Each structure stands twice: as C-alpha cells, then as structure tokens.
C-alpha cells in the first residue's frame, strides 16, 4: 500500500492537456500517469511504449504543445505568480 496526498501543482496548460489526454488513452488517472513517469525517470528508464509515443506525438499536435525537454530549464515564470 502507498499513501497518496492531494496536491496542487502549476503546470503549463498545453502540457497538462497532453498529459490528461495520454492518461485517458492509457486508461489511467492523471496521478497514476505522473507517478509512473516520475518513477521511470528516477531510474533513467523510458516510461512509454512505442505505441504510446505515437499517441503522445498526436496529442502534442492536437493541443499545440511545442515545448521540448531542453525548454524545461528555460521556462519563464508568468507575471503575477508571486515568484521572482
């Protein structure tokens, strides 16, 4: 058994749309998907099958997600967020 907690996170809106779409495609909750991605990443493993990667590419196109992994270190904080 694991103990889960409710959390509120801020995330780029198109990325969230893709994650929600992928969770639906994989018949998972959004939380289960995020846990799986994180646990795979912590071990340096790919979390997705080739079929899921094709679905991700389609979802990225549908929702206009053009951010890539390299962008994660260059995202700017939006105005009014209370963060410097």
What confidence category does residue 74 fall into, taking pLDDT thresholds of 50, 70 and 90? Answer: confident
Neighbour count for residue 11 (Cβ, 10 Å):
10
Taking the C-alpha atoms of residue 65 and residue 11, their distance in angstroms, rounded to an integer, is 13
The pTM of the full predicted model, rounded to 2 decimals, is 0.85
Contacts of 52 (CB under 8 A, 6+ apart): 22, 25, 26
Average pLDDT on 51-78 reads 92
**Please, what is the end-to-end C-alpha distance for the chain in angstroms?**
39
Domains of the chain by residue range? 13-68
Q: Which pLDDT belongs to residue 75?
A: 82
Taking the C-alpha atoms of residue 63 and residue 65, their distance in angstroms, rounded to an integer, is 6
Mean pLDDT, the chain, integer: 92
């Amino acid at each position: 058994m694991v103990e889960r907690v409710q959390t509120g996170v801020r995330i780029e809106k198109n990325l969230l749309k893709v994650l929600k779409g992928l969770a639906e495609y994989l018949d998972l909750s959004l939380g289960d998907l995020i846990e799986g991605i994180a646990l795979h990443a912590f071990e340096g493993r790919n979390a997705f099958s080739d079929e899921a990667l094709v679905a991700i590419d389609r979802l990225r196109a549908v929702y206009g997600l053009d951010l890539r992994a390299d962008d994660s270190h260059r995202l700017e904080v939006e105005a009014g967020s209370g963060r410097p």
